[in-house]
Amino acid sequence: MNEPVLQLTNIYKKIKGKDILRDVNLSVYPSEIFGFLGANGAGKTTTIRIIAGLIKPDLGKVTIGGFSLDSDFVRAMSQVGCIIESPDMYKFLTGMENLQQLAAMSSRITQDRIDEVVELVGLQHRIEDKVDTYSLGMKQRLGIAQAIMGRPRLLILDEPANGLDPAGIAELRQLIRRLAYDEGMAVFVSSHILAEVQQICDTVAIISRGVILNTLKVKEIGKDVMVEWQVDKPSLAMELLKERWDIAAEQTGKNRVRAVIERVMAEDINQAFIAEGIRLAYCEAHGGTLEDLFLNLTGGDEIV
Ligand SMILES: Nc1ncnc2c1ncn2[C@@H]1O[C@H](COP(=O)(O)OP(=O)(O)OP(=O)(O)O)[C@@H](O)[C@H]1O
Ligand SMILES: [Mg+2]
């Protein structure tokens, strides 16, 4: 497998005597969209501030593109494009002037590259307008253009969907996909919106009160579901599940049987029940969404 672009190893951080991050470990690979999901106050922005070199962890190691943030700060940071909370820009200049201003600080960024990123973020029709005439979504795109001008291998976005309307969110999603899948960037995106993470990310780490509870592939979510059947012969149904699929079911009511199964098997099982003369009144599936998983893991996190 590829080397990770971003790696956090055993990160600890206390702020004002309070544990804010505890033993945070994660790896993000090229072309991967990595979601960092947690409730308000979970520690997302603190983690991002550490990755961006704005604050130091008390313990642990951050490497970016193989360079240690601690011992090779400049080389590590040269691979990062980052927007934390809201991007900085001059409102009285046009979008293009803002990008040129920033490009002037780096010898590597040519006008061609600026034009390319403007196209990439879809701002070509408004780029000559002053930033104070931009909508939030346009500012967001200009921020992303600023962050990717230097061709970073890692792009970090802290809650980029905040404040955008549904159309804006859909466009942002497309843009992030383009950056990851066409440009090969590793994209680290934090969010407290479950559906958003499920739709856009390849991998999600769930953080709660400064601890990563689970890291999983989004496409693996929903493979297993809990199914409840209402049948006239519950014992026979349970026997069949055990014998044919080695599934341990439990009886939860006079005519109710419950088991955790792979979602794709539900149809076969229902057909087998009927073929064996079991009358099936209904079949209900619970769980199998990122939301169920999140609520199960965090116990329905509150803001702390
Ligand atoms: N400078 C600070 N002083 C005191 N507490 C802080 C400071 N920075 C962060 N914290 C605390 O650390 C915890 C994590 O904050 P952080 O901003 O990382 O959360 P978050 O996951 O980004 O939340 P949100 O979704 O609200 O942006 C919170 O309890 C916050 O109050
Ligand atoms: Mg935050």
Task: Ligand 1 pocket test: pick from 19, 37, 44 the residue with the most ligand atoms within 8 Å of its Cβ.
Answer: 44
36-40, 218-222, 245-249, 290-294: least confidently modelled range = 290-294
Percent of the chain residues topping a pLDDT of 90: 71
Task: Ligand 1 pocket test: pick from 12, 20, 159, 207 the residue with the most ligand atoms within 8 Å of its Cβ.
Answer: 20
**Homologous superfamily assigned to 6-217:** P-loop containing nucleotide triphosphate hydrolases (3.40.50.300)
Kindly indicate whether the domain formed by 224-288 is annotated with CATH number 3.30.70.120: yes
CB-facing half-sphere around the CA of 46: CA atoms within 13 A: 23
Q: Higher-confidence residue: 194 or 24?
A: 24
Helix (H) or strand (E) holding 80: strand 80-83
CA pair distance 194, 62, nearest whole angstrom: 26
Is residue 304's pLDDT more than 70? no
Report which protein residue has its CA nearest ligand 1's atom 25. Answer: 40
- Using CB distances shorter than 6 Å, the residues near ligand 1 are 15-16, 20, 38, 40-46, 192, 304
Whole-number pLDDT of residue 221? 80
pLDDT tens by residue, 71-122? 999 999 999 998 876 667 899 999 999 999 989 887 789 999 999 999 989 9
Tokens 């390319």 identify what position? 116
Report which protein residue has its CA nearest ligand 1's atom 28. Answer: 41
Report which protein residue has its CA nearest ligand 1's atom 12. Answer: 20
pLDDT tens by residue, 135-172? 988 998 999 999 999 899 999 999 988 888 888 888 88
The residue ranges of every structural domain in the chain are 6-217, 224-288
Whole-number pLDDT of residue 148? 92
CA of 41 to the centre of ligand 2 (A): 7
Report which protein residue has its CA nearest ligand 1's atom 3. Answer: 15
Is residue 127's pLDDT more than 50? yes
DSSP of 145-159, one letter per residue? HHHHTT--SEEEEES
